[in-house]
Amino acid sequence: MSLHDLLPEYSGKINDFTISSISLDSQEIKKGDLYISLANDSDQQKKYNQEALKKGANCILTNNKSIENIEKKIIYVSDLKEKLGFLSNRFFENPSKKIEVFGLTGTNGKSSVSYYLFQLFSQIKKDIGLISSIKLKESGIYNSKLTTPDVFTLNKILSNFLLEKKKAAIFEVSSHGIDQERIAGIDFDYGCFTSFSRDHLDYHSSINKYAKVKESFFLNNKFKGAVINIDSKVGKKIFSNSHDFVSVSRKNKKSDICIEKNKGKFFIKTPWGHVNLPDRIFADHTMVNIAAALGLFCLSSKKPNLNKLNLKKIYDLPGRFQKINIDSNKYLYIDYAHTPEALENILKSLKKKYHGSLICLFGCGGGRDQGKRSLMGAIADSFADKIILTNDNPRFENPKVIIKDILEGIKDQKKVEIINDRTKAIKFGLKILSRDKEGSVLLLAGKGHESNQEIKNKTIESNDYEIVRSFI
């Protein structure tokens, strides 16, 4: 596309040329690209502009009038931030209108529900594209740096999916992505609300503001249908806003989709029929996540045939309730749980399933919501027999301060061991597990699939699964 096609109002101000692609990141600019410069600080913006020009940018659009320089092809565009969705759709020719789009949001469960839905469609040979921030090597999956990419990257991916003849696209919609308008102009067909609890309060400042952002996704987009988890007040409120929404719940048996039990076996009850859950699936949050994915599958299918689906072949993401057999009747689980609700869900499920000791190893991230630290400490105290506190991603915070905050929620501190070094902490946890009674389980929470740690200004390699494998 040419610059004049993209911005016809500038056809008399600057010579026309062809734009290869558009990016908001100066580091990703290639020869012939258009760079959109939005840094709040003028000096920073000038620095990024220079970098983009050196990399071969044909033109730069800026939201800062003082930086405009027509000779250098730096053009000021008023209200540039508000025009990103429009510009992206014009350049990429509205790909979201040509492909079925599933957008999933919620505090916990977004990645899992997305991956379950991807697998369900794969079982009926429907060619689907999945955008994931978790590195997966399966065909049809695009790995993204961010949970929700910016609107130019997003539309570029959707365009590539169309070229690959994919029928639909699935991706997570984070609260940051909603608030920063990364999904501006995207045409969604189906939505999903997976859960709601405390998270990202360092960004949103209050639980109410966080809730409003999540609600806005369903208020500001038109869906053919959506699956809404109503096990929270926010979920119930979202569900009440539309007759086209289907409810899912682990607690409410009157919901459209729910988990039932018969003769010791769990199954998912839906308006389209019942599906048995494999015996290996016992955690409540896993069941309701699979149920949500099943609901999206059925909503978007003209004549859903549940007999074609095999839930025994549905697998979890790496680092999501990942089970490792350690010894005879002793187990270890790795999970990404880094919110109070997620940690509670997993500890409850493990406590119900296993009857030995429950050992919980976790930490909390630095530079993030400090208020959740004592809450997570209290939850670990309520369910775990032994607690190992260690580093998560302390970033620029003092790890000792983070652990002190967690300890404020733990009444019985006699069962706490503090080992800042996560590798040493995991080794210690395995040692305790080896000495404990049969049926004991060790949970490594917080890091999940992540392959590194952020400590001060350094990023070091650290993956819980690889650490465990090195010791067993």
Tens digits of residue pLDDT in 273-287:
999 999 999 999 999
Mean pLDDT of the chain: 95
Q: What is the average pLDDT across 152-162?
A: 97
Instruction: Give the pLDDT score at 50.
Output: 95
Residue 324 pLDDT grade (very low, low, confident, very high; cuts 50, 70, 90): very high
Q: 450: how many CB neighbours lie within 10 A of its CB?
A: 17
Q: What is the pLDDT of residue 192?
A: 98
DSSP assigned state of 254: T
pLDDT for residue 205 is more than 90: no
- Where does the pLDDT of residue 443 fall: very low under 50, low under 70, confident under 90, or very high at 90 and above? very high
In this prediction, residue 137 carries a pLDDT of 86
pLDDT, tens digit, 9 for 90 and up, residues 162-171? 999 999 999 9
Predicted confidence band at 193 (pLDDT cuts at 50, 70, 90)? very high
User: Does residue 158 carry a pLDDT above 80?
Assistant: yes
Strand locations in 85-140, DSSP E? 100-105, 128-132
Structure tokens at 335: 């999970």
> pLDDT tens digit string along 211-233?
999 999 999 999 999 999 999 99
Averaged pLDDT, 166-188: 96
- Residue 292 is predicted with a pLDDT of 98
pLDDT on residue 260: 95
pLDDT band, residue 10 (cuts 50/70/90): confident
SS3 46: helix
Which pLDDT value is given to residue 29?
96
Which residue, 435, 434, 431, 443, is CA-closest to 360? 443
**Residue 285 CB partners (closer than 8 Å, separation 6+):** 108, 109, 195, 250, 342, 345, 346, 349
pLDDT digits (tens, 9 = 90+) for 12-54: 778 888 999 999 999 999 999 999 999 999 999 999 999 999 9
d(CA 378, CA 268): 32
Q: What confidence category does residue 377 fall into, taking pLDDT thresholds of 50, 70 and 90?
A: very high
Which pLDDT value is given to residue 12? 73
* Residues paired with 225 in a beta bridge: 190
Mean pLDDT of 422-429: 98
Whose CA is closest to 169, among 226, 99, 216, 119? 99
pLDDT at 323: 95
Nearest 5°: phi and psi at 398? -75, 120
3-state secondary structure 318-378: CCCCEEEEEECCEEEEEECCCCHHHHHHHHHHHHHHCCCCEEEEECCCCCCCCHHHHHHHH
Distance (Å, whole) CA 61 – CA 29:
13
pLDDT over 80 at 11, yes or no? no
SS3 sequence of 4-20: HHHCHHHCCCCCCCECC
In 206-305, DSSP assigns E strands to 225-229, 245-249, 257-262, 265-270, 273-276
Q: In the predicted model, is pLDDT for residue 289 greater than 80?
A: yes
Q: How confident is the model at residue 200 (pLDDT cuts 50, 70, 90)?
A: confident
Among 69-78, 301-310, 435-444, the range of highest mean pLDDT: 435-444
Do β-strands 265-270 and 273-276 pair in parallel, antiparallel, or remain unpaired?
A: antiparallel
Provide the 3-class DSSP secondary structure of residue 93: coil
Please give the C-alpha separations between residue 358 and each of 298, 385, 407, 472, in angstroms, as whole numbers.
38, 5, 18, 19
CB atoms within 10 A of CB 85: 18
Structural domains for the chain: 3-78 (3.40.1390.10), 94-313 (3.40.1190.10), 322-471 (3.90.190.20)
Euclidean distance between CA atoms 451 and 464, whole angstroms:
8
What is the rounded CA–CA span in Å between residue 40 and residue 44?
8
Distance, CA of 271 to CA of 298 (rounded, Å): 9
Q: What is the pLDDT of residue 15?
A: 84
Instruction: Report the DSSP beta bridge partners of residue 257.
Output: 248
